[in-house]
Amino acid sequence: MSCGSSSRHRQQLMQEMIYDAVRPPPPPPTSTTTIRSVLKQSNEPIKTKRPVKNSINNGKPDKLADLLNLEEAESDAETTKKVQALEGLKRLVKELQMEKEENKRAAASRVRLLTKDDPENRVTLAMLGTIPPLVAMLDFEDSNSQIAALYALLNLGIGNDQNKAAIVKAGAVHKMLKLIESPNEPSQAVSDAIVANFLGLSALDSNKLIIGSSGAIPFLVKTLKILDKQSGCQARHDALRALYNLSISPSNIPFIMESDLIPFLVNALGDMDVSERILSILSNVVSTPEGRKGISIAPEAFPILVDVLNWTDSPGCQEKASYILMVMAHKAYRDRQAMIEAGIVSSLLELTLLGSMLAQKRASRILEVLRVDKGKQVSGNLGGNTSAAVSAPIYGSSANQYGKDCLVEEGMMSEEKKAVKLLVQQSLQNNMKRIVNRANLPQDFAPSEHLKSLTASSTSKSLPF
């Protein structure tokens, strides 16, 4: 019986049961009928009563019993189907363990197909012992067998952390690197499959350090550089994502620095197809001293990062670029000077006006650090008297509230305020020019007198800290 007819049969039985339950009882028999029945029963011999099936339903089939029997039959059919499927998976594992390479290759292709969209098959096949023979197939010289095994392993690990750990434990990383380092370079298809496996396996935290220390990072970087011009290549995106996964672990940052990845990533910024992913990697790298040093010494790193704030309207890119610059600005005076030379102030002021809330907050923090540096530099030029040096103004202080400054407009404080005022005024004017250019306004557009008066009267207290 098909599933559709079975369902209709079940519904019909249920309707009949409901009808029988609500149908009024038949009228009581007449007295004559009752007497005749009694007389007839008294003249007949007494017989042993047998349970009459469906007596309460006036001879009709027992609807409830039929319904239960139907469900039981369907349950038995489903169980039989699952048992047969399990037996088929067992035979598939046996084929993987055969000596003939052709049988193994066909079985690996079958595993790849069965685990593509079925999480239950991934669990079952792994429990039946599919992973070790698939990993062993990576030693075959036939590229078709290697590809079949690699993609079968890839599908087994999708959404299953236990399988990812088991694949690494079975030695897959070592065998994949052995394929890469062999005198006969693997084909592009094999290389792409290895990159995809590194991406999937590196998503598990316990695998990150194992893969990073194995020598996979130089391979991923090499693959990324080779495929740099092929923007539509899936392997390029897989390699970037795998490197991002590996960069999450601080222990892998030294391996990333040894691969000369940072200068390549900095120079690749500007390609909107991969820029946000690159900035995500740099955001992980900047968390360690080695990573900050690598970014700092990369050629044109700060001009490029500052330029990201100018040309992109993507909130993700702006937030990540401002985070990298914020961490660098807080850690090294030399990096702050390089940022100022790259024209970061005007870009940050624009970001505080047009950026996302998180980008605005980070831009304001960078401006605060730069302003403190400017004050210290002015005080040093006035004779090195740092006892009266002042950092960023504290919002809501009594001095600001009542308009009284602890220092009068004489001496060092006056010179510091003049320097900061000039810096802010120039930055605001540059910011307005940049906004005008981005708005595609005529080049002869000039700010109004009201705007000029605002920029001329602005001080460091107007910055949104």
Number of domains the chain contains: 1
Question: Would you say 252 and 212 are in contact if contact means Cβ atoms under 8 Å apart?
Answer: yes
- Within a domain: 72: no
Tens digit of pLDDT at every position of the chain (465 positions):
555 556 666 666 556 655 555 455 555 554 444 444 544 454 555 444 444 444 444 444 566 666 666 666 667 677 777 788 888 889 999 999 888 899 999 999 999 999 999 999 999 999 999 999 999 999 999 999 999 999 999 999 999 999 999 999 999 999 999 999 888 888 889 999 999 999 999 999 999 999 999 999 999 999 988 876 654 588 989 999 999 999 999 999 999 999 989 999 999 998 878 899 999 999 999 999 999 999 999 999 999 999 999 887 789 999 999 999 999 999 888 999 999 999 999 999 999 988 899 999 999 999 999 988 766 655 555 554 444 333 333 333 333 433 444 333 334 445 555 555 566 566 666 656 655 555 554 444 444 454 444 444 433 333 333
pLDDT number for residue 52: 44
- Within a domain: 133: yes
- Within a domain: 124: yes
How distant, in Å, are the alpha carbons of 440, 445, 453, 459 from that of 432?
Answer: 12, 11, 13, 16
- Half-sphere exposure (CA, 13 Å, Cβ side) for 312? 26
- Half-sphere exposure (CA, 13 Å, Cβ side) for 223? 31
Q: Quick one: CA dihedral 279, 346, 420, 450, positive or negative? A: negative
Which residue type does 314 have?
Answer: S
Angstrom distance (rounded) from CA 87 to CA 166: 23
- Within a domain: 140: yes
pLDDT number for residue 79: 78
What is the domain extent for residue 104? 79-170
Question: Would you say 320 and 274 are in contact if contact means Cβ atoms under 8 Å apart?
Answer: no
CATH code of 161's domain: 1.25.10.10
- Within a domain: 107: yes
Nearest to 234 by CA among 284, 185, 199: 199
Angstrom distance (rounded) from CA 82 to CA 102: 28
> Quick one: DSSP state of residue 55?
G
- Within a domain: 112: yes
DSSP string, 153-195: HHHHTTT-HHHHHHHHHTTHHHHHHHHHHSSSPPPHHHHHHHH
Which residue type does 202 have?
Answer: S
Task: Give the chain's radius of gyration (CA, Å).
Answer: 38
Taking the model in full, what pTM does it have? 0.68
- Within a domain: 360: no
- Within a domain: 273: no
